[in-house]
Amino acid sequence: MRRKTRRSALKLPAVAVAALAFLSLPAVLAVAGVDDVPSNARSRAAIAAHAPELTEALEAKGLALGAPVYFRLTKEPAVMTAYVQDAEGEYEAFRSWPVCAFSGKLGPKQAEGDLQAPEGFYAVSPGQMNPSSAFHLSFDLGYPNAFDRAKGRTGSYLMVHGDCVSVGCYAMTDEAIEEIWTLMQAALEHGEGTVPVHIFPFPMTAANLQRHAGDPNASFWRSLAPAWQAFEDTGRVPQVRVADGSYQLAGVQ
């Protein structure tokens, strides 16, 4: 288990920090090269509703709204967890939400229309955020990624969204997706280029891999395990590349 000594820092009252964080978002957009996250009345209302509480909860852990975030999702158990980067560059577990619904079973998405939710390593840019979603708020995972394309996998518009219904996506409650959106928008607008979202069938422990050793997807799942373990060991998000049709670790950020 990683152990560390956190540096002390001067802290403003939570409500003041929330107000500063929320008001500073538009100013960040003036910086050249920073893309705007799409916004409408729905997403602005979500941020206004959740930014103060999230700021207070983050501050209690020595974290800040607008710091880089990393999301890790498992199908079994069906949970999505947000990790937030601290002042020392490590990512600390902040909050988990149950996945309200997802389509299919354990295993990666293979083809358009198979109603299977994807597994693998994805990244969300500002342009993949959709505040006008028919499912409250959503972001596109970017499936198929380079690995999926190398394997001939097809599909489109694979999302994490609200409304608690799924036809191939990961559905959250509306409250959960509003909190997730607020964390992501703040991070993107404070300079995080893309938000990594890593999706696993289950926690990549040796026991779980052994339990599923006879599954047709066992080889694919073993290829995901090094990234899971790298994060467990370092507290830093693993950088994964695709080479020769396989996932390979390229370091940590």
* C-alpha span between 94 and 89 (Å, rounded): 15
Catalytic residue among 50, 100, 136, 169: 169
Of 195, 201, 212, the C-alpha closest to 119 is 201
Judged by DSSP in three states, 132 sits in coil
Quick one: 215 exposed, middle or buried, by C-beta within 10 A (0-12, 13-18, 19+)? middle
Strand order through the sheet with 79-85 = 91-98, 79-85, 69-74, 195-200, 120-124
* C-alpha span between 65 and 55 (Å, rounded): 6
Cβ distance 35 to 158 under 8 Å? no
**Which DSSP letter does residue 128 get?**
G
Active site residue 100: no
* C-alpha span between 55 and 29 (Å, rounded): 20
Helix residue ranges, H only, the chain: 14-28, 41-60, 146-150, 174-189, 206-211, 218-234
Active site residue 50: no
* C-alpha span between 135 and 115 (Å, rounded): 17
Catalytic residue among 161, 190, 198, 212: 161
**Which DSSP letter does residue 119 get?**
-
DSSP H or E segment with residue 53? helix 41-60
Residues annotated as part of the active site = 161, 169
